[in-house]
Structure formats: structure tokens, C-alpha cells
């Protein structure tokens, strides 16, 4: 159990759909139109976004079994001080640990398998550099950004990372792959990043 008392489109690109064992990956969604085929795949080896990409927020987590979040060097006592610092914008982190992991900034309401696990925050100097003065509107922007970072991480924890590939099969000819892109964290992220000429309705 834990020890400490919503998503924007995130895309980080790869362009390969080969499994390490050489087997062909199976598409989870397929659409066809105008001689083109769009295939969507679940990314079987997604990158941990907190380790591979830059973020404005800092994420500290405390768990007996799982190494989560960023290597901030902060203790739980440090995080309590950070959370109570009026110059810092922060949100609590909660983890659901049941047949997999899920993280969000609100309580899961499950006293047995979930609880408070840590904190995500933006340092005062980083806030000023990114947003300017601490107005109500800028604080709201910062909170939305933190929630988006948590949603990205949650998608990775749940294995909801995707890629797409487009192939041409005009006039029944042999398929030729034209384009592909990987690293979409969350289904909405994928739908927001479909290739030109394709819409979310095409994947229904």
C-alpha cells in the first residue's frame, strides 16, 4: 500500500512497428478509404515519459515496491513543505494498485487498493519563466499542465501508448507503407495526432 499521508495530446515519435522477437504486430484498429489503410497498434515497448522527455512539473512518489515518478531527491517531509509553500503550484498524486497501476490527481475512492502516493509541482522560478506572474489565470494554466503530465504518465503505466501506420493499396496492388508515427500516450492523444486526411470517426 501507499506510504504518503484529465489529458492533453502527448506525442513523442518513434517509427517502427517491429517486435523484438521478430513477430508481426497485430493492429488493434484498422480503417480503409481511398485506397489507403490506416492501422493503429499498441506500443509494446513504450518509453517511460518521465525518464525520456522533459517536463515542467516535478513528480515525487513514495512506494515500497514500485519506483515511480522522477528522481527528485526529496523526502516525504520535503514534499509536505513544498505542498504548503504558497509560491509553489502543486497537486497530490494517488495510485490505484490492483491488476496494474493507475495514477491521477484525485482520490480513487478505494481504501483497499489505492491511496496518496506523492506530489507533482512546479517550482516558483519555473512557474515565473513559463507563465509570468501568479495570476488566477496563470495558476489555472499550470494546474492543467500538471494534470496533463499525470495523464501522460498514467497512460504509460496502463500500457495505453499507441502508434499508427498508413499503407497504400491502390487498385489492389501490394501494400506499400507510406508513413508511421509512434509515441502517443493515451487514446485521445492518438486521435489528435492522426495523419492528414484521417479523422477520429474513421476509427469507430
Averaged confidence pLDDT in the chain: 87
Q: Given pLDDT bands bounded at 50, 70 and 90, which one contains residue 4?
A: very low
Whether residue 5 is predicted with pLDDT greater than 60 in this model: the reply is: no
Q: Which three-class secondary structure state does DSSP give residue 148?
A: helix
**H runs (alpha helix) in 2-75:** 49-52
Using a pLDDT cut of 90, give the percent of the chain over it: 73
Reported as a single tens digit per residue, the pLDDT across 138-152 is 999 999 999 999 999
Which range has the top average pLDDT, 62-71, 124-133, 178-187? Answer: 124-133
Which distant-in-sequence residues (6+ apart) come within 8 Å of 139 by Cβ? 89
Among the ranges given (91-95, 96-100, 120-124), the one the predictor scored with the smallest mean pLDDT: 96-100
CA–CA dist 141, 94 (Å, integer): 21
Query: How confident is the model at residue 34, as a pLDDT?
Result: 87
Whether residue 47 is predicted with pLDDT greater than 60 in this model: the reply is: yes
Reported as a single tens digit per residue, the pLDDT across 71-93 is 999 999 999 999 999 999 999 99
2 vs 17 pLDDT, higher one: 17
| Domain residue extents for the chain | 11-46+160-203, 53-157
Query: How confident is the model at residue 23, as a pLDDT?
Result: 54
Reported as a single tens digit per residue, the pLDDT across 176-189 is 888 999 999 999 99
Which range has the top average pLDDT, 6-15, 150-159, 163-172? Answer: 150-159
Whether residue 44 is predicted with pLDDT greater than 50 in this model: the reply is: yes
CA–CA dist 37, 34 (Å, integer): 9
CA–CA dist 106, 58 (Å, integer): 17
Query: How confident is the model at residue 25, as a pLDDT?
Result: 83
The secondary structure element, H or E, covering residue 79 is helix 76-83
Whether residue 67 is predicted with pLDDT greater than 70 in this model: the reply is: yes
CA–CA dist 112, 166 (Å, integer): 44
CA–CA dist 160, 152 (Å, integer): 9
List the Cα angle 61/11/167 in 5-degree steps. Answer: 140
Residue 159: name the closest of 43, 65, 61, 66 by CA: 43
Whether residue 12 is predicted with pLDDT greater than 80 in this model: the reply is: no
The secondary structure element, H or E, covering residue 97 is strand 89-97
Cα–Cα distances in angstroms (integers) from residue 103 to residues 144, 154, 181, in the given order: 16, 5, 26
Amino acid at each position: 500500500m501507499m506510504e504518503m499521508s484529465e489529458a492533453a495530446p502527448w506525442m513523442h515519435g518513434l517509427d517502427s512497428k517491429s517486435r523484438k522477437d521478430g513477430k508481426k504486430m497485430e493492429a488493434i484498429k484498422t480503417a480503409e478509404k481511398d485506397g489507403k489503410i490506416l492501422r493503429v497498434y499498441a506500443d509494446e515497448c513504450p518509453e517511460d515519459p518521465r525518464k525520456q522527455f522533459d517536463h515542467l512539473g516535478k513528480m515525487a512518489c513514495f512506494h515500497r515496491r514500485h519506483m515511480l515518478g522522477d528522481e527528485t531527491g526529496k523526502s516525504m517531509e520535503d514534499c509536505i513543505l513544498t505542498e504548503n509553500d504558497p509560491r509553489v503550484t502543486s497537486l497530490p498524486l494517488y495510485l490505484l494498485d490492483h491488476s496494474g497501476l493507475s495514477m491521477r490527481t484525485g482520490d480513487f475512492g478505494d481504501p483497499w487498493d489505492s491511496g496518496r502516493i506523492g506530489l507533482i509541482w512546479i517550482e516558483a522560478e519555473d512557474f515565473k519563466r513559463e507563465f509570468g506572474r501568479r495570476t488566477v489565470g496563470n495558476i489555472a494554466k499550470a494546474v492543467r499542465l500538471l494534470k496533463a503530465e499525470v495523464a501522460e504518465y498514467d497512460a504509460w503505466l496502463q500500457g495505453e501508448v499507441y502508434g499508427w501506420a498508413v499503407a497504400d493499396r491502390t487498385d489492389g496492388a501490394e501494400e506499400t507503407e507510406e508513413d508511421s508515427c509512434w509515441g502517443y500516450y493515451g487514446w485521445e492523444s492518438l486521435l489528435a495526432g492522426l495523419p492528414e486526411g484521417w479523422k477520429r470517426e474513421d476509427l469507430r
